[in-house]
């Protein structure tokens, strides 16, 4: 291992760089630097060689050209065990550079500013930085490439422990991370430029992600898995941006999938809302002026499925709500007793400290291991409409816009002789929004602002309706029905009429729409069309 004798430091993010450079200098490392970094180091009384003293050329063109020079890249790319390379260095007065510390112009932070101009964005595309990073990373056997302040301590510790050298295994790992950095950086630039050209689906598309955590396993124990966040973070309140409160088990692959399904549904509502999800489908959903009552209505609609599910709220969890969660009522409103109620995750904008204490310590609840996720306040304006909905198939990925359409009151058309009542319209709205988040084919029943029956993922819509009606039981009478897609035949209406359902919402668009409308009129059922469907495969 060769020791680090010469380092080049040029960073945009100057966090910790002065101390890093000071420790290198104290170990006798010669430091080359550029522009603002050189000034920061000189101001800290650290000896620095200016880049133009190395190249013989001044920094020029407003800093666009300073490190793009053979005396820099020759010093980075030369193979020290190759006689021809060594001779070329000698003949051209090129000195080797053993360590490079570079981080890049803040392109993503720049374009995220609302007042960022096109010219400002272009000027924040780093050229020299990525070039040095790639040169050093390619020649990792001889050059250590440091691209983040969180790598400083490890590199310093290695140099101290190895007679002034960084081990080859560490240099290889730093090189790998460096190429990941430049790939992500180029992806951000490419995607932004495509957006400027209004080309949302260009011929080549890269989605950059950062690993958040490794998971114990995937959907099943024999599958390895990890959780990645999008490198471009819009700040949307969501599962990916949530903070897990101290305590509780590590969140799992299936937890993340189910919690996302629950929270994306609860975000749809302005009124206090509670959602319970099991295996990616909502088994309980209700709204109320009181979040505690919303939860009780959501829970009692399907107690059996709720056990072991995920709870989502669009209001903070208070002590009163925590008490309600811990009441552990069974299917018929009777206490479950020692068996208690079990939930994998609770997600909400925030948790009162007293609520956390209740959830963690209540004996009958027994949920010291429950994962509690806090997202911060929910804002419809913060939802990222530019984010993709990504689906994977063998050998490829499907990208589409997120389905962010909910209840569009101005688009609703009543197609039947009878108009829906105000309560029926409210129940139709809830059923329609829930249906959007249920696997197709979907039928959802709602009554008194709570989902009372969910039929999910059946191969035909009639079977979905049958499941929803069976789950609702007596509550089907007077309920509203929502279908995520149109009725190809009136059989769902006939089935609904037999159960006493009084209102139906569906997209419309079938060539047999009139048959369904006539069937509704026959049974005095109000039916409205939304004009849009919500398939969820």
Active site residues: 138, 279
Hey, how many other C-beta atoms are within 10 angstroms of the C-beta on 427? 28
How far apart (Å, rounded) are the C-alpha atoms in residues 464 and 443?
A: 6
How far apart (Å, rounded) are the C-alpha atoms in residues 55 and 140?
A: 23
How far apart (Å, rounded) are the C-alpha atoms in residues 510 and 485?
A: 9
Among 294, 356, 357, 296, smallest CA distance to 327 is for 296
Residue 246 DSSP code: S
Q: Which residue has the tokens 């310093």?
A: 156
* Contacts (Cβ under 8 Å, ≥6 apart) of 254: 219
Q: Which helix (H) or strand (E) holds 399?
A: strand 396-401
Helix, strand, coil % over all residues of the chain, rounded to 5: 40, 20, 40
Phi and psi angles of residue 183, each rounded to the nearest 5 degrees, phi first:
-65, -45
Per DSSP (E only), the strands in 268-319 are 273-278, 281-287, 309-313
* Contacts (Cβ under 8 Å, ≥6 apart) of 61: none
Phi and psi angles of residue 203, each rounded to the nearest 5 degrees, phi first:
-65, -30
Burial class (CB in 10 A: 0-12, 13-18, 19+), 334: exposed
Rounded alpha-carbon distances, angstroms, from residue 141 to 74, 138, 161, 165, 169: 15, 8, 18, 11, 9
Among 455, 408, 446, smallest CA distance to 427 is for 446
The answer to whether 265 and 433 are in contact (CB under 8 A) is yes
Report the relative pairing of strands 413-414 and 450-455 from DSSP bridges.
unpaired
* Contacts (Cβ under 8 Å, ≥6 apart) of 441: 455, 457, 458, 459, 460, 461, 463, 464, 484, 485
The answer to whether 235 and 377 are in contact (CB under 8 A) is no
How far apart (Å, rounded) are the C-alpha atoms in residues 433 and 444?
A: 9
Among 531, 237, 537, 258, smallest CA distance to 407 is for 531
Token readout for 73 is 């890249």
Residues 175-206 as b/e (b if ≥16 CB within 10 A, e otherwise) read bebbbebbebbebbbebbbbeeeeeeeeeeee
* Contacts (Cβ under 8 Å, ≥6 apart) of 483: 435, 442, 443, 461, 465, 492, 504, 505, 506, 507
Residue 85's SS3 state is helix
Signed CA dihedral, 98, 127, 45, 70: sign only: positive
């Amino acid at each position: 291992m060769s020791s680090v004798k010469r380092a080049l430091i040029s960073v945009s993010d100057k966090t910790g760089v002065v101390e890093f450079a000071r420790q290198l200098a104290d170990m006798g490392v010669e430091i080359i630097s550029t522009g603002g970094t050189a000034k920061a180091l000189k101001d800290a009384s650290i000896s620095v060689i200016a880049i133009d003293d190395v190249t013989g050329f001044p920094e020029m063109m407003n800093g666009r050209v300073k490190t793009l020079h053979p005396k820099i890249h020759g010093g980075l790319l030369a193979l020290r065990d190759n006689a021809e390379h060594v001779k070329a260095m000698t003949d051209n007065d090129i000195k080797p550079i053993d360590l490079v510390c570079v981080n890049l112009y803040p392109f993503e932070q720049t374009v995220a500013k609302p007042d960022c101009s096109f010219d400002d964005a272009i000027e924040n595309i780093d050229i020299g930085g990525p070039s040095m990073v790639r040169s050093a990373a390619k020649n990792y056997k001889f050059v250590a490439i440091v691209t983040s302040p969180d790598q400083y301590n490890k590199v310093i510790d290695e140099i101290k422990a190895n007679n002034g050298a960084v081990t080859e295994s560490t240099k290889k790992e730093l090189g790998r991370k460096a190429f990941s950095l430049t790939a992500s950086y180029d992806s951000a630039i490419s995607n932004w430029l495509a957006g400027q050209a209004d080309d949302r689906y260009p011929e080549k598309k890269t989605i950059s992600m950062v690993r958040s955590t490794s998971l114990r396993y995937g959907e099943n124990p024999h599958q390895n898995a990890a959780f990645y966040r999008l490198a471009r973070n819009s700040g949307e309140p969501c599962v990916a941006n949530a903070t897990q409160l101290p305590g509780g088990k590590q969140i799992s692959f299936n937890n993340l999938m189910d919690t996302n399904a629950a929270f994306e549904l609860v975000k749809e509502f302005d009124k206090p809302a509670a959602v319970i999800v099991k295996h990616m489908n909502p088994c309980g959903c209700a709204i109320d002026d009181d979040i505690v009552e919303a939860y009780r209505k959501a829970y009692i609609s399907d107690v059996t499925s709720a056990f072991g599910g995920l709870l989502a709220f669009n209001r903070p969890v208070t002590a009163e709500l925590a008490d309600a969660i811990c009441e552990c009522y069974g299917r018929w409103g009777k206490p479950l007793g020692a068996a208690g109620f079990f939930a994998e995750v609770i997600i909400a904008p925030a948790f009162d400290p007293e609520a956390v204490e209740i959830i963690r310590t209540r004996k009958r609840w027994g949920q010291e291991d429950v994962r509690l996720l806090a997202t911060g306040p929910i804002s419809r304006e913060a939802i990222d409409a530019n984010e993709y909905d990504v689906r994977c198939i063998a050998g490829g990925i499907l990208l589409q816009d997120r389905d962010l359409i909910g209840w569009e009151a101005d688009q609703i058309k009543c197609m039947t002789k009878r108009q829906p009542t105000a309560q029926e319209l409210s129940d139709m709205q809830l059923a329609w929004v829930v249906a959007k988040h249920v696997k197709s084919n979907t039928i959802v029943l709602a009554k008194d602002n709570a989902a009372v029956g969910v039929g999910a993922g059946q191969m035909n819509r009639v079977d979905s309706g049958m499941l929803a009606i069976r789950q609702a039981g007596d509550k089907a009478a007077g309920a509203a029905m929502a279908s995520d897609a149109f009725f190809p035949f009136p059989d769902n209406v006939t089935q609904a009429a037999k159960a006493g359902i009084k209102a139906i919402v569906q997209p419309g668009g079938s060539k047999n729409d009139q048959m369904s409308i006539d069937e509704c009129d026959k049974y005095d059922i109000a039916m409205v069309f939304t004009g849009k469907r919500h398939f969820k495969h």
